Amino acid sequence: MNITLAQAEKIISVAKEKSIAIDTKMNIAIVDAGANLVAFGRMDGAWLGSLDISIKKAKTARYFDMNTGIIGELSQPGGALYNIEHSNNGLITFPGGVPIKNAAGEIIGAIGVSGSSVENDHAVAEAGASAI
């Protein structure tokens, strides 16, 4: 199973609505089941430096099929995944990346959001991921 462009566009729309509701500007990336970029949205005025971070958050969430914040907890010094962020040409291991599942519970892609605090990034990513 794979995410469609129509689904990705809907997710970006819902994520943008959440961003506006919490008064922040985000970069929002959607990848498919193979971690390939399907859709991207950069809200007017969103940080340029967060563009790459949002894409890497989406890829990280898909590579490991879990929220990036969980990977971050596991990758602390002494943790089971310590230094994992150096693999796969660089991962992002703080909140803002969330796997996307279809109605059957199968992972079909992931969303990555960056542009604010990690709490806001995660809230926007969760809102987007729940859109389908």
Segment 11-69, tens digit of pLDDT: 999 999 999 999 999 999 999 999 999 999 999 999 999 999 999 999 999 999 999 99
- pLDDT, residue 115, reads 97
- Residue 9: which CATH number? 3.30.450.150
- pLDDT, residue 1, reads 81
Q: How many CA atoms, within 13 angstroms, populate the side-chain half-sphere of residue 79?
A: 14
pTM here is 0.95
What domain count does the chain have? Answer: 1
Q: How many CA atoms, within 13 angstroms, populate the side-chain half-sphere of residue 100?
A: 34
| Percent above pLDDT 90 for the chain | 95
Question: Where in the sequence is the domain holding 19, given as residue range(s)?
Answer: 5-129
Please name which of 124, 120, 112, 107 lies closest in space to residue 51, comparing C-alpha atoms: 112
With a cut of 90, say whether residue 97 has pLDDT above it.
yes
- pLDDT, residue 103, reads 93
Q: Report the alpha-carbon distance of residue 130 to residue 83 in Å, rounded.
A: 30
- Provide mean pLDDT across the span 74-79: 92
With a cut of 90, say whether residue 91 has pLDDT above it.
yes
